[in-house]
Amino acid sequence: MTTPFLQIQNIRKVYGDVVAVTDVTLDVAKGEFMTFLGPSGSGKSTTLYVLAGLQEPTAGDILLQGSTLLDTPSHKRNIGMVFQRYTLFPHLSVGENIAFPLRVRRRPKNEIDAAVRRVLKLVRLESFEDRMPAKMSGGQQQRVALARALAYDPPVLLMDEPLSALDKKLREEIQYEIRRIHQETGVTILYVTHDQEEALRLSDRIAVFSKGVIDQVGTGSELYADPATRFVAEFIGDSDFLEGKVEAVNGKHADIRVGDDLVIPAVPTHGAPTPGRGAAVMLRPERVSLSQTPNAASSLPVTVVDITFLGNNTHVLTETKARERLSVRLPFGHAAANGLRPGQSVWASWEPSDAQAFCA
Amino acid sequence: MPCNYAYSAPAVSDREASVAMLLDFDRLGSWRWVLLSITVLVALFLLLPIIFIAALSFGNSQWLIFPPPGWTLRWYRELFADPRWLESAWTSAQIAVCVTVLSVVIGLLASLALTRGTFRGREALRALFITPMILPVVVLAVALYAFFLRIGLNGTMLGFVLAHLVLALPFSVISISNALESFDKSIEDAAILCGAAPWEARFRVTLPAIGHGLFAAAVFSFLVSWDEVVVAIFMASPTLQTLPVKIWTTLRQDLTPVIAAASTLLVLFTIALMLAAVVVRKGMKR
């Protein structure tokens, strides 16, 4: 087996008595776009700072192409980084900012000039070479920061929520730029964000961080279709949970009783299902349908609470007898949406294989 | 300083607009004449003594009569003819330059520790650095005199420099600390990630970025030492005097218009220094 390009091995980081990163292990392939996704305080940024060398890990190791990075100080790691805050050097022009990493490497002038031109073209800011950072918008500054980080062809590029200070429209625009730049350069990118849409849009794979550990690593569709934990299910996409109890177990599937009326048969389960123990059944809104009579394999009587027309779909919020919320997303023109009214009693139905259970 | 124009600009311009409306000069009606008179009176109060001194330095009466009965350059000739005046000015300049350099260097190192450090007693240390500014100067002067008497520094150049350094340091620490606090440490981290060694990042990125703070520290430190008279009177010896001390002793011995001439030159020098500061500042902002 060949060694993975970048290996993060059992990284742990403790500040005083606060554990920021409990235990993180992850392999990243060369050229991969890997996103660390998680809420603030989940350890994703700390892991990135350990990679950058701006934080010392309490335990664990980081290997790049098989050899450890921890013995190398930050400035010799040859890693590119774009920060959350604007970090252009305020007294230098755009061109001088980009030339800075090459100047400290004592590269010849013609090589520096060529590199500056190349990366400015890459981020499409050719005409801004002589501009001072203070005279640029936030989006432009972050693009220059990206150009500066790429000017010396680092094997790994770290990005710590680089777009979080920008407004939504600009953010999306630069997300596509980043994707294009990733494809054009083939650089390995580790990207930190708390925005699931951003993660899904950019990444080859996503590592979902929660409370200092990685809950799951996978492509966006893997995480959506088959979340390993309840946290991942809640964090990626919309989902609702019905609290229930395990009735019978058959391998990785279980029959789960939800309320008095319904036992959902053969639900794929995560964790160790034990008869009599609690389990939460997850349903995605687009997998649930509404009808006047029970019609699929699993149906539950619900009351309509609110109906919102959203163009290509209609969002129906319902409530079960146990007062649990269950969202239903009906595609535009779906017959079930006709004549639906708040307060109405209907049946929510789904295929058992579309549900998933997380055992407590 | 990194700033987000897209976000901060609207808020600031709104505030500026409302303030501008409140103080709109055209809306004040007859009040504006009252305000104008007050402004003129305050300006005269501030400027008249300086104008008087300048006028007296060219007056031909040796009794400092105003208005002068006639005009002469005699006092300036006397001033430049007396080597003791030039000597004291040269002494002042040497001390002020030494104080400026030391104050900025020590102020920078202290500010780095005070803003970046995480040690215990950091706030107490900051307060200690500021005390010379709050303490009555006479108290400080007597204390320094007593102390320097024991270690034999009174009447020496080194004693002058150290005493003035104590007075100048608070100004350096305050202006450099402020500059460092408004400087985002991430920028230095970015320089390190770019391949600059930590000291190189500080030298090539942090220092230029806080240049305005260093410059302010230098100007303040120079002026603190250059203008200082109380501590200097205690430090001075018959052979080593600063310009303010020379003015003071001359004033006490004989009231000659040469003092007016010296004072006028001092004022001119200070104005020149301030103008230079403005020019340098504009150059820095680009």
Q: Using one digit for the tens of pLDDT, what is the confidence trace for B1-32?
A: 344 333 334 444 455 555 555 566 667 778 88
Task: Look at B4 and A138 and tell me if their CB atoms are within 8 Å.
Answer: yes
Share the mean pLDDT of chain B: 86
ipTM over 0.90: no
Q: Which domains are delineated in chain B? A: 1-57 (no CATH), 73-285 (1.10.3720.10)
Q: Do A137 and B6 touch (CB under 8 A)?
A: yes
Residue B251: what pLDDT? 85
Give how far B286 is from chain A: nearest CA, Å.
9
| Residue of chain A minimizing CA distance to B1 | A90
Say if A337 is an interface residue toward chain B (CB within 8 Å): no
Q: Which chain A residue has its CA at the smallest distance from B205's CA?
A: A89
For testing contact with chain B, the best of A51, A54, A72, A85 (most B CBs within 10 A): A85
Q: Rounded to whole angstroms, what are the CA distances from B136 to A101, A280, B223?
A: 50, 72, 18
Cα–Cα dist A290/A315, whole Å: 11
Residue B155: pLDDT band (50, 70, 90) is confident
* Contact (CB, 8 A) for B222 and B97: yes
A9, containing H or E segment = strand A6-15
Q: What is the pLDDT of residue B16?
A: 52
| pLDDT beyond 50 at B96 | yes
Q: Residue B194 carries which DSSP code?
A: T
Cβ distance of A75 and B286 shorter than 8 Å: no
* pLDDT at position A301: 85
DSSP label of A69: S
Min distance A226 CA to chain B CA atoms (Å): 37
Q: Do you find a cis peptide bond into B67, omega within 30 degrees of 0?
A: yes
The model's pTM: 0.79
Residue B274 confidence (pLDDT) above 70: yes
Q: What is the pLDDT of residue B8?
A: 38
- Measured at the CA of A53, the angle between CA A105 and CA A147, to 5 degrees, comes to 50
Number of residues written out for chain A: 360
- Superfamily holding A238-359: Nucleic acid-binding proteins (2.40.50.140)
User: Are A87 and B286 an interchain contact pair (Cβ–Cβ within 8 Å)?
Assistant: no
Q: Is B209 in contact with A88 (Cβ distance < 8 A)?
A: no
- Give every residue of chain A whose pLDDT is below 50, as ranges: none
Q: Residue A137 and residue B5: Cβ atoms within 8 Å?
A: yes
Flag if A87 and B201 touch (Cβ within 8 Å). Answer: no
- Least confident stretch, A296-300, B6-10, B75-79, B274-278: B6-10
Residues A233-254: tens digit of each pLDDT: 988 988 889 888 888 888 888 8
Domain A238-359 in the same topology as domain A6-234: no
- Please tell me the distance from the alpha carbon of residue B154 to that of residue B163, in angstroms, as a whole number: 10
Mind telling me how many Å the CA of A79 is from chain B's nearest CA?
Answer: 7
pLDDT at B128 over 50: yes
- The answer to whether the CB of A174 falls within 8 A of the CB of A166 is yes
Task: Check A105 against B186: CB less than 8 A apart.
Answer: no
Chain A CA closest to residue B285: A91
- What's the half-sphere exposure (Cβ side, CA atoms, 13 Å) at B256? 15
- CA nearest neighbour of A48 among A145, A152, A161: A161
CB-based contact A258:A231 (threshold 8 Å): no
Helix (H), strand (E) at residue B230: helix B230-235
Q: Which of A85, A145, A170 is the closest to B184 by Cβ?
A: A85
CB contact under 8 A, A54 and B200: no
Q: Given CA atoms B78, B83, B86, B91 in this order, what sign does their dihedral have?
A: negative
CA-nearest residue to A149 within chain B is B194
Asked whether the beta carbons of residue B201 and residue A148 sit closer than 8 angstroms, the reply is: no
> CB-based contacts of B182: which residues, under 8 Å, 6+ apart?
B1
* B214 interaction partners in chain A (CB closer than 8 Å): none
pLDDT at residue B192 above 50? Answer: yes
**Which residues in A lie closer than 8 A to residue B197 (C-beta atoms)?**
73, 75
Work out the minimum CA distance from B276 to partner chain A, whole angstroms: 20
B225 and B100 Cβ atoms separated by less than 8 Å: yes
Q: What is the reported pLDDT for B9?
A: 40
Q: Using the beta-carbon criterion (under 8 Å), do A80 and B192 form an inter-chain contact?
A: no
Q: What average pLDDT does range B147-170 have in this prediction? A: 92
Architecture of domain A6-234: 3-Layer(aba) Sandwich (3.40)
- The ranges assigned to domains in chain A are 6-234, 238-359
Q: Which residues in chain B have their CB less than 8 angstroms from residue A84's CB?
A: 186
Which tens digit of pLDDT belongs to each residue from A155-193?
A: 999 999 999 888 888 888 899 999 999 999 999 999 999
Nearest CA in chain B to A150: B194
Enumerate the residues of chain A whose CB falls inside 8 A of the CB of residue B209.
89-91
Nearest CA in chain A to B202: A89
pLDDT at B284: 63
Alpha helices in chain A (DSSP H): 44-52, 94-104, 109-122, 138-150, 168-185, 196-202, 220-225, 230-235
Residues 6+ apart with CB under 8 A from B66: B52, B55, B56, B59
A149/B contact by beta carbon, under 8 A: yes
Of B4, B209, B286, the CB nearest to A132: B286
Yes or no, beta carbons of B184 and A87 under 8 Å apart: yes
CB pair distance less than 8 Å for B209 and A89:
yes
pLDDT tens digits, one per residue of B38-70 = 999 999 999 998 998 898 889 888 877 778 888
